[in-house]
Amino acid sequence: MIQETIIETDLVTKIYDSNGLTVKAVDEVSIGVKAGEFVGLVGPSGSGKTTMLAMLATLLRETAGKMLIDGQDLSSMSDKQRTKFRREKIGFTFQANNLVPYLTALENVELMLRLNKNNGGKSRARAKELLARLGLEDRLDNLPAQLSGGQQQRVAIARSLIHNPSVVLADEPTANLDTERANQVVRIFADLIHEEQRAGIMVTHDLRMTKYVDKVIQMVDGRIARVITDRADINLLAGTSEFDRLDRSAPNKSKDLIFPQAPPLRVPVPTFGGAD
């Protein structure tokens, strides 16, 4: 199956200039992410991974190089076009402060549809299905403060996918979660990216989470140090054994086998029993 390349960067460089001090945060990075591909962007602090994510999210302009998402050249866009592009083409999950505190779980997801002026009855039904898929069918009318950290991140994931974006970006989505919740969140995130054929990039410090991705891009000092696509190598990085992986019946090397019939969204496959 030939997949379309959604994200394409060519020798992207970001130079910060503060107080006469020049810092090359991202140095000639070229990556490509296909539809249905989930990429883990890892590296130590200051390696440029968040800067890279910010540029892909159109929140930051590159100093040099070229960035294409869905065939559109990001550098040629005005700020206003970037804002529109973000709400239409990009789904976001942040480390914290993901949700609007005075909107319920369902309303937070619908917010994305409202922003895109697409909040008819059908969309609402889809928001409910997506939240149910994420095990939150009992929590639709809860405010974020009434949800656990893991539940909040799952609402954020639903919001990042509800408007059918081409690209889904996640910035340390598990930073505030314990291991079990982190695994749940990233696993379902990966499943949805695969099912819905989005191009997903997750920035993470937690190497264990790379076991759910299809490709790991490791950055050091603004440059790509390593790209790992081999499942065994990824698992080695993630510190998981083959046994753990089989037990979970997930990864990706032979994707078509693992997801023979990618379950349609309407069927709530993994549920987490609400009491997270």
Partner 1 sequence: MVAYLGLKEVWRNKGRFFLFSLVIALIAILVLFTAGLGEGLASANKEYLEKLDAELLTFQSDTGYSTIESRIEFRKVNRIRRLPGVADAGPIAFSNVKLVLDNGPEPMDVSFIGVEPGRPGAPPAVVGDDLRSKSAKVVLIDRRVAEDAGVGVGDFITIKSTQGTDDELYSLRVTGITGGQQFFFRPSIFVSLPVWDLYRPKADPGAYSSQPAVNVIAIRADNPAAIATIPATISAVLDDLETTDIKTAYESSPGYSAQQSTLNTIKGFTFLIGTLVIGGFFQIQTLQKIPQIGMLKAIGTPNRVVAAASILQIVFVTVFGVLIGGIVTFGLTLGMPSGVPILFTGTSILIATLSLLLIGPIGGMVSIRMALKVEPLSALGM
Q: How far apart are CA 154 and CA 174, in angstroms?
A: 10
Which of 252, 272, 271 shows the shortest CA–CA distance to 262? 252
CB atoms within 10 A of CB 9: 22
Min dist CB 191 to partner 1, Å, is 22
With CB under 8 A as the contact rule, the residue among 133, 154, 159, 181 that binds partner 1 is 159
Q: Does residue 88 touch partner 1 according to CB under 8 A?
A: yes
Window 165-204: contact mask with partner 1 (x via CB under 8 A): ------x---------------------------------
**Best CA proximity match to 199, nearest among 48, 100, 57:** 57
Nearer to partner 1, 74 or 228 (CB): 74
Query: DSSP E strands: which ranges in the chain?
Result: 5-18, 21-29, 32-34, 38-42, 64-69, 72-73, 90-93, 167-171, 199-203, 215-220, 223-228
Q: Which of 147, 108, 117, 157 lies closest to 265, judged by CA?
A: 157
For partner 1, which stretch binds (CB under 8 A), given 34-42, 104-112, 121-129, 250-258?
104-112
C-beta of 117 vs 243, nearer to partner 1:
117
Using the rule CB under 8 A, is 107 a contact of partner 1?
yes
Nearer to partner 1, 209 or 228 (CB): 209
For partner 1, the binding residue among 11, 23, 71, 102 (CB under 8 A) is: 102
- The reply to whether 92 sits near partner 1 by the rule CB under 8 A is yes
**Cβ distance 88 to 33 under 8 Å?**
no
Q: By CB under 8 A, what part of segment 111-150 binds partner 1?
A: 111-112, 114-115, 143
Task: Please say whether the dihedral angle defined by the alpha carbons of residues 44, 49, 51 and 54, taken in this order, is positive or negative.
Answer: negative
Report the interface residues with partner 1, using CB under 8 A.
Answer: 50-51, 53-54, 57, 59-60, 80, 83-88, 90, 92, 94-98, 100-103, 107, 111-112, 114-115, 143, 159, 171
